[in-house]
Amino acid sequence: MSDEDTNTSTTDAPRPDAHPAQPAQDGARSSEPDAKPNADEDGRAKALREERRRAKAAEDRAKAAEEKVKAFENEKLSEKERADRELADAKAAAEQAKAEAAKFQLDALRHRIAAEKNVPAALLTGSDEESLTASADAALSWRGAAEPAPPKAPKPDPSVGPRGGDNKVSGADLYDQMFPRPKVLKA
């Protein structure tokens, strides 16, 4: 830290030995009519903000110094060493991508077999098609059904649709019932 930082902190921050005036025991007001009850709190808040600003500035300086060190180390490396480092990073990224692809392929296979066998995919264990199929068959035998039951047709709802009987009314008849035509008088 520089001398400027240490000098400003002594003027901005409240002194630790300074205490606010305490009111009298009987509840009477302080002898100072213009004294602010929160003056000490304002000073502490100001000191806290100043300390946070200094901490942020120190963090920024540390990051900048770290970047300079890294750049200096890279300058010291030869072209071959830099290429080797980049190659190692690329190989690591490729291995990670292969591992993720294998995980997604296994997950897709698990869901495909679960859909074919009509079992939950979470019950299937294994790392290849045969073990996943065996796991699905074991789940089916435990459930008690070797083949999935066909979906049942819904039962008819008697409250919907036409009702039985001789009361078949056409749409035109219903219209005439709702909107009767005026009778025309013949002369």
Question: Tens digit of pLDDT for each residue in 81-97?
Answer: 878 888 999 999 999 99
Tokens for 109? 């296979």
DSSP state at residue 127: S
Tokens for 59? 């963090």
Query: What is the pLDDT confidence band of residue 8, given thresholds at 50, 70 and 90?
Result: very low
Q: What angle do CA 166, 171, 175 make, to 5 degrees?
A: 115
The better pLDDT of the pair 187, 112 is held by: 112
Question: Residues 5-11: what's their mean pLDDT?
Answer: 45
Per-residue pLDDT of 87-124, as tens digits, reads: 999 999 999 999 999 999 999 999 999 999 888 888 88
CB atoms within 10 A of CB 14: 15
**What confidence score (pLDDT) does residue 183 get?**
79
DSSP state at residue 169: -
d(CA 140, CA 144): 6
Give this prediction's pTM.
0.35
The better pLDDT of the pair 9, 175 is held by: 175
Please give the helix or strand (H or E) that residue 76 lies within, else none.
helix 39-76
**What confidence score (pLDDT) does residue 4 get?**
46
Per-residue pLDDT of 137-151, as tens digits, reads: 888 888 775 555 677
d(CA 92, CA 5): 45
Q: Which of 56-60, 80-84, 171-175 has the highest mean pLDDT?
A: 56-60
